[in-house]
């Protein structure tokens, strides 16, 4: 059977910006090896697989080399596809069952898609030598870690933009990835960031929703506000609205479908 397949630019207001994600609508349960093979074939940072389940959809995310426990932009892309394909009514929330629990997305009147994600605040820690070596002597103001990633606060936005971490050294760390951040100076936002995850097959991710589950609580504490805006200063770039609510983080953004087709090798 031919399976509907989409390429969606997430956290984007126009095509060819934000973070591309493939979204595949499944007709039945598929093996992990099959989904991983499809994700490797797509070769985007994430491929999302959706299957109707109960009141919502089972959702799994795969990079080109492995499955991950949480992904923001592919969830945003999945919700966008469900509304665009009229699998859901415009005012009906999208409910997802994932390895990070039950997630929900909804669309506001202005077209923004909001997602209810778990907060993943960092805990301050001593940086391992491999991390400092990977950062190559940039000014570090703070290092923390959550269950997935290291978070490093740098001195200024320009340092974040210029950073060229040693990806081979990052691969030696037992983490999903590295978030670097600083106060925003050149863009209209509260903070900027970049995200590197070579260990899971993503050298640099264009716009990373799940990283903002960490960045949101981190910057909310420092700025004394629960409503924030982050801008990921990768070459493609993207804006993420963030609202912290105790142990949850609301992430907001838009999405654009750039390709629609059928997966023939089912």
Q: What is the pLDDT of residue 265?
A: 76
User: What whole-number percentage of the chain has pLDDT above 70?
Assistant: 99
pLDDT band at 257 (very low <50, low <70, confident <90, very high): very high
Res. 142: pLDDT tops 80: yes
What distance in Å separates the CA atoms of residue 71 and residue 65, rounded to the nearest whole number?
15
The active-site residue out of 13, 46, 92, 120 is 46
Q: What angle do CA 119, 160, 213 make, to 5 degrees?
A: 5
Q: In the beta sheet, which residues pair with residue 232?
A: 193, 238
Res. 195: pLDDT tops 80: yes
What distance in Å separates the CA atoms of residue 30 and residue 35, rounded to the nearest whole number?
7
φ/ψ region of 15 (left if φ > 0, alpha if ψ in -120 to 50, else beta) reads beta
Matching CATH number, 3-111+253-263, of 3.10.310.10, 1.10.10.10, 2.60.40.650, 3.40.1360.10: 3.10.310.10
| Cα–chain center distance at 34 | 23
Task: Reply yes or no on whether 46 is catalytic.
Answer: yes
Q: What is the pLDDT of residue 177?
A: 96
pLDDT in tens, 98-117: 999 999 999 999 999 999 99
pLDDT band at 76 (very low <50, low <70, confident <90, very high): very high
Rounded to an integer, the average pLDDT of 202-210 is 96
Matching CATH number, 123-245, of 3.30.410.40, 3.20.20.80, 3.40.50.80, 3.10.310.10: 3.10.310.10
| DSSP, residue by residue, 197-216 | EGGGTEEEESS-TTTHHHHH
Decide: 180 and 154 in contact? Cβ < 8 Å.
yes
Res. 266: pLDDT tops 80: no
Residues of the chain with CATH 3.10.310.10: 3-111+253-263, 123-245
Phi, psi of 146 (to 5 degrees): -115, -165
φ/ψ region of 223 (left if φ > 0, alpha if ψ in -120 to 50, else beta) reads alpha
């Amino acid at each position: 059977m031919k399976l509907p397949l989409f390429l969606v630019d997430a956290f984007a207001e126009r095509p060819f910006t934000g973070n591309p994600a493939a979204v595949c609508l499944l007709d039945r349960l598929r093996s992990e090896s099959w989904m991983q093979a499809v994700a490797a074939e797509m070769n985007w940072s994430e491929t999302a697989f959706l299957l109707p389940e109960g009141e919502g959809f089972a959702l799994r995310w795969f990079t080109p080399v492995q499955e991950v426990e949480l992904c923001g932009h592919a969830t945003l892309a999945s919700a966008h596809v469900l509304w665009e394909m009229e699998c859901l009514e415009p005012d009906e929330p999208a409910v997802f069952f994932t390895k990070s629990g039950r997630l929900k997305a909804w669309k506001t009147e202005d077209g923004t898609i909001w997602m209810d994600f778990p907060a993943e605040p960092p805990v301050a820690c001593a940086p391992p030598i491999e991390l400092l070596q990977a950062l190559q002597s940039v000014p570090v103001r703070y290092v923390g870690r959550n269950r997935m990633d290291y978070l490093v606060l740098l001195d200024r936005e320009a340092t974040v933009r210029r950073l060229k971490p040693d990806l081979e050294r990052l691969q030696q760390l037992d983490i999903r990835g590295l978030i670097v951040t600083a106060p925003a100076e050149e863009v209209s936002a509260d903070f900027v960031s970049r995200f590197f995850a070579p260990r899971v097959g993503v050298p640099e991710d264009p716009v990373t929703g799940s990283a903002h589950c960490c960045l949101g609580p981190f910057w909310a504490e420092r700025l004394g506000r629960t409503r924030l805006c982050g801008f990921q200063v990768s070459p493609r770039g993207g804006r993420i609205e963030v609202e912290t609510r105790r142990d949850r983080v609301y992430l907001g953004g838009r999405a654009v479908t750039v390709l629609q087709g059928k997966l023939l090798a089912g």
